[in-house]
Amino acid sequence: MMKSSAETAERVKALTEKLEAGVKEVFESEKYKTYLKAMSRFHHYSFGNIMLILMQCPEASLVAGYTTWKKQFGRTVKKGEHGIQIIAPVKRSKLVSQDKLDPDTQQPVMGPDGKPEKEPVFVQVQGFQVAYVFDVSQTEGRELPSLGVDELTGEVPNFNAMFSAVEAISPVPVEFRPASAAKGCFNHLEWKIYVNEGMSQVQTLKTLIHEMAHALLHDSSVLDDEIPKKDRHTKEVEAESIAYVVCQHFDIDTSDYSFPYVTGWSRGKELPELKASLECISKTAAGMIDSVEKRCLELTKSTTEKDSKNAFHRETHNADVR
């Protein structure tokens, strides 16, 4: 049965209030780390919907709507399973009265009283509704194809490809430097990222992504003067969080890192400021993940084509020799 607009609005309001209560709570202790792991799995969702998924189903690993599971993956939701509520945008048609326009001049048609004539028209308005998704654990059916890259542990087997892909999307040049106290830095004056030599592959990638986040978000030379300035601690929380999300998405083990300073950073912050940072982290990490995946595919395709050409030339050469 169709729900009225008032009922829909009330349900969205209740879910929004639940979300805002959870935003403050997420910064406590290990909950922030858990949230970032969820963000790495669901980077195409808004920060708010990631929060809602995590709050209702902390163990969720892959979610989709009922129809998507059935049509795209050949899986059905198990009987008795309850959906995970999220907030989804929806466009609705609304009947409004507006000035009648002359089809030739596009000017208002004036009535006998000298005022513009009115006509009823349908317009599209943006609204929101409660939608439902289900975790893969709530479904059954066809086996899922392997997702993402191969599992990466220790020294990151495809380190060169990953580093090349990340470096290629960097907004500024990347350069290695002799080891120093800081593992890396984004130099505002030189507009360059420096990364220490001799670090582990995991640390090298994580540091590069961390400094790229600074270059993307915190370069004072390109920021709008009207945008509120962020303190150093906030910048570090955002950069470290983005690096953690991106690394987690590609199964790069960064479990040795924790975020004990987040609780102190968030204490006393107002809800809008906390939400702004989460939105910033979510949006930036999602963009990085998509760009790295696209670049990895391009590099893989280029390597495959190069290998094919080399194989062809070798065969041609061998045939000539024979």
For the whole model, what pTM was predicted? 0.64
**SS3 of residue 41 by DSSP:** helix
- Bigger pLDDT: 13 vs 44: 44
Q: What does the pLDDT read at residue 153?
A: 37
Q: What does the pLDDT read at residue 317?
A: 45
Q: What is the DSSP string of 197-209?
A: TT--HHHHHHHHH
Does residue 223 surpass a pLDDT of 60? no
Q: What does the pLDDT read at residue 124?
A: 78
Q: Which of 199, 205, 187, 277 is nearest to 241 (CA)?
A: 277
Mean pLDDT confidence for 132-160: 70
Q: How far apart are CA 159 and CA 166, in angstroms?
A: 10
- The answer to whether the beta carbons of residues 124 and 92 sit under 8 Å apart is yes
Confidence of residue 1 (pLDDT cuts 50, 70, 90): very low
Q: Using a pLDDT cut of 70, give the percent of the chain over it.
A: 78
Mean pLDDT confidence for 58-83: 90
Q: How far apart are CA 320 and CA 32, in angstroms?
A: 64
**SS3 of residue 23 by DSSP:** helix
Q: What does the pLDDT read at residue 43?
A: 82
- Bigger pLDDT: 125 vs 238: 238
Mean pLDDT confidence for 193-203: 89
Separation in Å, CA 207 to CA 135, 203, 233: 32, 6, 17
Q: Residue type for 103, please? A: P
- Bigger pLDDT: 237 vs 69: 69
pLDDT tens by residue, 164-197: 999 999 999 999 999 877 789 999 889 999 999 9
Q: What does the pLDDT read at residue 146?
A: 44
Q: Of the ranges 14-18, 89-93, 168-172, which is most confident?
A: 168-172
32-41, 47-56, 290-299, 307-316: which has the minimum mean pLDDT? 307-316
Q: β-strands 174-177, 192-196: how paired?
A: parallel
Q: What does the pLDDT read at residue 139?
A: 94
- Bigger pLDDT: 216 vs 20: 216
Q: Using a pLDDT cut of 90, give the percent of the chain over it.
A: 22
Q: How far apart are CA 132 and CA 276, in angstroms?
A: 25
pLDDT tens by residue, 29-69: 567 778 888 888 888 888 889 989 988 998 888 899 999 89
Q: What does the pLDDT read at residue 319?
A: 45
Confidence of residue 322 (pLDDT cuts 50, 70, 90): very low
